[in-house]
Amino acid sequence: MTPPRQKLVVLGATGSIGVNTLDVVSRHPDRYEVLALSAQNKVDRLAEQCVRFRPRYAVVGSDEAAASLEGLLRPSGTGTVVLAGMEALERIASLPEADTVMAAIVGAAGLRPSLAAARAGKKILLANKEALVMAGPVFMKEVQRNRSILLPIDSEHNAIYQSLPRDYSSNLEISGVRRILLTASGGPFRQMSQESLEQVTPDQACAHPNWVMGRKISVDSATMMNKGLEVIEAHWLFNAPPERIEVVIHPQSVIHSMVEYADGSVIAQLGNPDMRTPIAYALGFPERIEAGVEPLDLCRIGTLNFERPDFQRFPCLRLAYEALSEGGNAPAVLNAANEVAVEAFLGGNLGFTRIPRVIAQTLADVPWKEVGSMEDVLAADGVAREVARLHVAGLGHPA
């Protein structure tokens, strides 16, 4: 007897993770049914996805986008119900009939629907960093309380998940784990002089040497803030203290991360830099399914290199470690300031090397507070954004 298809909700369907998710899903029509899709404003691409996968619901960011999407879908006869706004995102993330939720909305906007999925006890494929960076204690409490299954999609955390014991109980000591090794490509500016970094353009920052990603996450990779956020994520996902999480620069992006054990063994997960691998792992878990990824040819690669990160070249990584150690609202402030600074950089209103300065000044100016609820998280986020915008205005672009 054929098992029923998993009903899947994809939050952020038109982004890189969403597109790759649907690519994997399309290879297994007998396994998955797309129940709902969402996008902020890429209406044309979302309409194409709706025609192909015929979801029951589609959610966009505004009433105007909803009207446009309805107009595009009307001739196709998909029957897709079009909704708009944050409440609609929370609704599809917690649909009773949904089995799995791919949480792939970039930035703080993905926090509330990810939390809604956790509260509904869903199998969550977590690609939204902010759920853990901003609201780690709140989010993990809901995951545990509602017995959600949480599977990380970031290639690094997915690699760690695969390298830990299958019955890992969130206790490094019991599992004999000495440390977690997060690999980082180092981005496009790993060997660029400090003087040259002053003149970096958004297009240069978005030209990642190994991965195809959205513009915001590409800038985060270039500053290594992306790795800093991943350190915070790893802390919450695996209950690992900051001093047991080490970042290692690995330019080839073949080893996606490693776990070192007390006996000296180091277990790593390797693969081509293709997000369909962690997506397929999480979709099929605990089985393995075809992802469409090219086999890894180690002989062609030949050499794997490693180096320690330079915290002077990448101050954002240092700031992330400091925010994690401080706890409370500091990670939420870090994330908000980074989003504001990156947006200003991409808009041509802030120099690349001034991104960490905005973040550091915002962390210094926003008072430290405990975080015990979503209201606390959102309050910290709002205050930090206001402060960060003031610093952007004051710093601007280098002369």
User: Is residue 200 domain-shared with residue 307, that is, in the same domain?
Assistant: yes
Decide: 123 and 99 in contact? Cβ < 8 Å.
Answer: yes
pLDDT grade, residue 121 (50/70/90)?
A: very high
* Residue 296 resides in a domain: no
User: Is residue 49 domain-shared with residue 87, that is, in the same domain?
Assistant: yes
User: Is residue 69 domain-shared with residue 83, that is, in the same domain?
Assistant: yes
**What does the angle CA 216 – CA 121 – CA 45 come to, to the nearest 5 degrees?**
40
**What does the angle CA 322 – CA 327 – CA 183 come to, to the nearest 5 degrees?**
50
* Residue 287 resides in a domain: no
pLDDT > 90? residue 90: yes
| 376 CB neighbour count, 10 Å cutoff | 18
* pLDDT tens string 127-180: 988 889 999 999 999 999 999 999 999 999 999 999 999 889 899 999 999 999
User: Is residue 261 domain-shared with residue 367, that is, in the same domain?
Assistant: no
Q: What is the pLDDT of residue 218?
A: 86
Distances, alpha carbon 97 to alpha carbons 3, 10, 56, 168, in Å = 15, 14, 11, 29
pTM over 0.85: yes
| Averaged pLDDT for residues 269-291 | 96
Helix (H, G, I), strand (E, B) or coil at 8: strand
Decide: 248 and 181 in contact? Cβ < 8 Å.
Answer: yes
Q: CATH number of the domain at 29, please.
A: 3.40.50.720
Cα-Cα-Cα-Cα dihedral sign, residues 212, 215, 102, 165: positive
β-pairing, 255-261 vs 177-184, is: antiparallel
DSSP 33-62: EEEEEE-SS-HHHHHHHHHHH--SEEEESS
Percent residues over pLDDT 70 in the chain: 97
* Residue 278 resides in a domain: no
Q: Which two tokens stand for residue 137?
A: 């204690």
Short-list 187, 180, 317, 305, CA closest to 254: 305
* Residue 260 resides in a domain: yes
pLDDT grade, residue 206 (50/70/90)?
A: confident
| Largest pairwise CA distance in the chain | 69
User: Is residue 124 domain-shared with residue 184, that is, in the same domain?
Assistant: no
User: Is residue 227 domain-shared with residue 143, that is, in the same domain?
Assistant: no
CA distance linking residue 39 with residue 45, whole number of Å: 9
User: Is residue 159 domain-shared with residue 194, that is, in the same domain?
Assistant: yes
Is the preceding peptide bond at 286 cis, omega within 30 degrees of 0?
yes
> What is the domain range of residue 94?
6-152
pLDDT > 70? residue 115: yes
DSSP 308: -
Q: What is the pLDDT of residue 213?
A: 65
CA distance linking residue 116 with residue 97, whole number of Å: 14
* Residue 292 resides in a domain: no
Q: Considering only 80-89, 104-113, 155-164, 186-195, which range has the smallest mean pLDDT?
A: 186-195
pLDDT > 60? residue 1: no
pLDDT > 50? residue 399: no
* Residue 309 resides in a domain: yes
Domain end point (choices 152, 171, 204): 152
User: Is residue 32 domain-shared with residue 137, that is, in the same domain?
Assistant: yes
* pLDDT tens string 286-316: 999 999 999 999 999 999 999 999 898 899 9
pLDDT > 80? residue 76: yes
pLDDT > 70? residue 397: no
User: Is residue 83 domain-shared with residue 216, that is, in the same domain?
Assistant: no
* pLDDT tens string 238-261: 999 999 999 999 999 999 999 999
Helix (H, G, I), strand (E, B) or coil at 103: strand
CA distance linking residue 163 with residue 252, whole number of Å: 19
Number of domains in the chain: 3
pLDDT > 90? residue 234: yes
Decide: 380 and 336 in contact? Cβ < 8 Å.
Answer: yes
pLDDT grade, residue 189 (50/70/90)?
A: confident
User: Is residue 221 domain-shared with residue 370, that is, in the same domain?
Assistant: no
Domain end point (choices 108, 131, 152): 152
User: Is residue 28 domain-shared with residue 121, that is, in the same domain?
Assistant: yes
Helix (H, G, I), strand (E, B) or coil at 5: coil
Cα-Cα-Cα-Cα dihedral sign, residues 284, 289, 293, 299: positive
Q: Residue 261 phi/psi, 5° resolution?
A: -105, 165
DSSP 166-229: TT--S-TTTTTEEEEEEEE---TTTT--HHHHTT--HHHHT--SS----HHHHHHHHHTHHHHH
Q: What is the pLDDT of residue 129?
A: 84
Domain end point (choices 131, 152, 173): 152
Decide: 264 and 280 in contact? Cβ < 8 Å.
Answer: no
* Residue 288 resides in a domain: no
Tokens 């277990």 -> residue: 267
User: Is residue 114 domain-shared with residue 167, that is, in the same domain?
Assistant: no
CA distance linking residue 231 with residue 182, whole number of Å: 8
